């Protein structure tokens, strides 16, 4: 094949891809993004992105890094509003976008299996994701930021719900600084401890320290991951408790969407609970 024909062929392929990309815009759906207080159009997941999701299933059993990276990439690619900076959206925005992507790209039905520990009966609970979102959207009350102070006034910790970029960058640094393959219990304990502190790092943006009647501000968002960890590990437990409560309150609001509850029909009427995970499998066509 001549070079001219090869260039022409490649040009035709690029033209066809552009035509298909424009055609995909006709399938765009709108998602209300809370942090922007407006609807934003998103495209459906395409086959190439589905392939990326399948590949991200194979990851460390301890981490979910590959999925976090893949989903960020897909949200960025599929946002049909070029004026929106996807990286600056919050992780709550991300949760809603992910749910709508699943509804429009894969399907509205989700089946959750709940097993009763008392009678061993397995219940298949079918969830209509769109109905679930309609039910809870007016009941979610998230406080996106808070300032935690200790009793003596020495520490003032500024907390904020992370953005998609915050989560991505810190996950990247955390993964590069943490042993991936866990070979024994000691390494597992160390990894679990690292995961605990890394979660705190995502939500703490600044620490003010009172020293000799001076206020020293430590801007954690400008620091490396390992340096943030070193500073957070110096916080006293009472201050840390306030940070954990802030994070827990946000996750409790998320649970209004992802936590499924029902009572078993056995004699004990056991309360069954299970969270469905927003992970690679959530988006895989079965």
SS (H, E, C) 14-62: HHHHHHHHHHHHHHCEEEEECCCCEEEEECCCCHHHHHHHHHHCCCCCC
198: tokens are 């890394």
DSSP 277: P
Q: Check whether residue 115 and residue 149 sit in a common domain.
A: no
Residue 238 lies in a domain: yes
Helix/strand/coil for 269: coil
Q: Check whether residue 175 and residue 89 sit in a common domain.
A: no
Q: Check whether residue 130 and residue 166 sit in a common domain.
A: no
What's the whole-number average pLDDT of the chain? 86
Name the residue with higher pLDDT: 125 or 1.
Answer: 125
Residue 2 lies in a domain: no
Q: Quick check: pTM over 0.95?
A: no
Confidence of residue 193 (pLDDT cuts 50, 70, 90): low
Q: Check whether residue 60 and residue 86 sit in a common domain.
A: yes
Q: What is the pLDDT of residues 152-185, one digit of tens each?
A: 889 999 999 999 999 998 888 877 766 555 556 6
Q: Check whether residue 20 and residue 107 sit in a common domain.
A: yes
Name the H helices within 25-157: 47-56, 65-78, 91-105, 129-136
Q: Check whether residue 30 and residue 116 sit in a common domain.
A: yes
Q: Check whether residue 196 and residue 223 sit in a common domain.
A: yes
Residue 115 lies in a domain: yes
Residue 263 lies in a domain: no
**Alpha carbons 119 and 196: distance in angstroms, whole number:** 34
Q: Check whether residue 103 and residue 158 sit in a common domain.
A: no
Residue 22 lies in a domain: yes
Residue 1 lies in a domain: no
Residue 6 lies in a domain: no
Q: How many domains does the chain have?
A: 2
Q: Check whether residue 203 and residue 237 sit in a common domain.
A: yes
Are 270 and 121 in contact, with CB atoms under 8 Å apart? no
Residue 55 lies in a domain: yes
207: tokens are 């620490």
124: tokens are 């298949």
Domain interval for residue 33: 12-138+268-283
What percentage of the chain has pLDDT greater than the value 90? 58
Give the Å distances, CA to CA, from 57 to 33, 64, 71. Answer: 27, 9, 12
């Amino acid at each position: 094949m001549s070079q001219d024909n090869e260039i022409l062929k490649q040009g035709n392929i690029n033209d066809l891809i552009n035509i298909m990309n424009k055609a995909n815009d006709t399938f765009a759906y709108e998602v209300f993004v809370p942090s922007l207080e407006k609807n934003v159009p998103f495209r459906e997941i395409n086959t190439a992105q589905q392939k990326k999701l399948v590949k991200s299933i194979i990851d460390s059993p301890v981490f979910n890094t590959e999925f976090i990276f893949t989903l960020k990439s897909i949200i960025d690619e599929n946002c049909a509003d070029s004026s929106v900076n996807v990286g600056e959206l919050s992780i709550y925005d991300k949760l809603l976008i992910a749910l709508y992507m699943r509804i429009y790209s894969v399907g509205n039905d989700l089946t959750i299996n709940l097993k009763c520990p008392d009678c061993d009966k397995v219940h298949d609970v079918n969830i209509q994701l769109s109905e679930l979102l309609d039910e809870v959207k007016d009941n979610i009350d998230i406080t996106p930021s808070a300032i935690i102070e200790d009793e003596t006034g020495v520490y003032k910790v500024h907390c904020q719900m992370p953005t998609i970029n915050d989560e991505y960058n810190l996950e990247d640094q955390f993964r590069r600084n943490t042993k991936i393959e866990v070979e024994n219990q000691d390494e597992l304990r160390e990894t679990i401890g690292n995961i605990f502190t890394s979660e705190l790092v995502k939500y703490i943006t600044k620490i003010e320290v009172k020293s000799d009647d001076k206020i020293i501000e430590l801007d954690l968002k400008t620091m490396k991951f390992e340096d943030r960890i070193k500073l957070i590990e110096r916080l006293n437990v009472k201050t840390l408790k306030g940070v954990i409560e802030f994070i827990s309150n946000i996750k409790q609001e998320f649970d209004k969407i992802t936590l499924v509850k029902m009572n078993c029909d056995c004699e004990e009427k056991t309360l069954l609970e299970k969270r469905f995970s927003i992970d690679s499998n959530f988006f895989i066509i079965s």
